[in-house]
Amino acid sequence: MHIMEGCLPVEHALGWSVASASFVGFGLHRLSRRIKEDRSANLFLGACAGFAFVLSAMKLPSVTGSCSHPTGVGLGAILLGPTTMSVLGSVVLVFQALFLAHGGITTLGANVFSMAIAGSFAAWGVHRVSIKLHVPSSVAIFLAATISDLATYAVTSIQLGLAFPASQGGVAASIAKFLLVFVPTQLPLAVSEGFLTVLVVNLLKSHLGSDKRFPVLTGASR
């Protein structure tokens, strides 16, 4: 999902940067209020950021014979909310842009939008809808994390498709081309991300017990 440095036309890079900055700015505001109100929540922020750090560093092989990585934002989006998680996800992307030449400064806005913002909101939304539909809590978490992972790569495909329309078929044909690059590789990795997210939620439940601040953890688990 990392769009490489310089690989988006200037106006697209700017547009995504402005869009992402407004979301992340709002997230930062919420985050600083949260830290002031409840210092014990800091450990939750660390745990969710840690999970995203680990998962987004794992380049996993896929059945297509190429490699990609999960995102790890689903967990935090469910536990902390999508705006807070969009800030933590951005930290990962800044680190990778500066020190790993994965993504870049000019494409940071677009990459933050796909992984930290769209990925977080997808996880949060899917989780809420699943719970409303009385889907068992572990299944809801699995679906949220898996779909969040896929949504990130779908948004990357849309961003690239908008920037580089095909000469025949235009934007739609181009998006389809990028989806074909990303989605087959990502499918098994998204399933892995779903499994690992449920695993960590299980660990949180058994180590933390029930915590009123986080209804996800208090709900009947099995």
Partner 1 sequence: MNAKTSNGLLLGATVALVVFALAFSRPVTGEAFGSSDVQAVAVVEELRPDYQPWFSPLWEPPSGEIESLLFGLQSAVGAGLLCYALGYWRGVRKNRKGADA
Cα of 100 vs its chain's centroid, Å: 19
Q: What is the DSSP letter of 114?
A: I
Q: Which stretch binds partner 1 (CB under 8 A): 27-35, 114-122, 129-137, 180-188?
A: 180-188
181 interacts with partner 1 by CB under 8 A: yes
Smaller CB separation from partner 1, 15 or 104:
104
Q: How far is the CB of 189 from partner 1 (least distance, A)?
A: 8
53 interacts with partner 1 by CB under 8 A: yes
Helix H or strand E segment including 145 = helix 137-163
- What is the rounded CA–CA span in Å between residue 171 and residue 162? 6
| Contact set for partner 1, span 69-128 (CB under 8 A) | 92, 95-102, 104-106
**Burial state string for 153-169 with b = 16 or more CB within 10 A and e = fewer than 16:** bbbbbbbbbbbbeeeee
Helix or strand or coil: residue 61? Answer: strand
214 interacts with partner 1 by CB under 8 A: no
Smaller CB separation from partner 1, 26 or 198:
198
Residue 60's DSSP bridge partners are 68
Using CB under 8 A, which of 16, 24, 27, 44 touches partner 1?
44
Q: How far is the CB of 32 from partner 1 (least distance, A)?
A: 19
43 interacts with partner 1 by CB under 8 A: yes
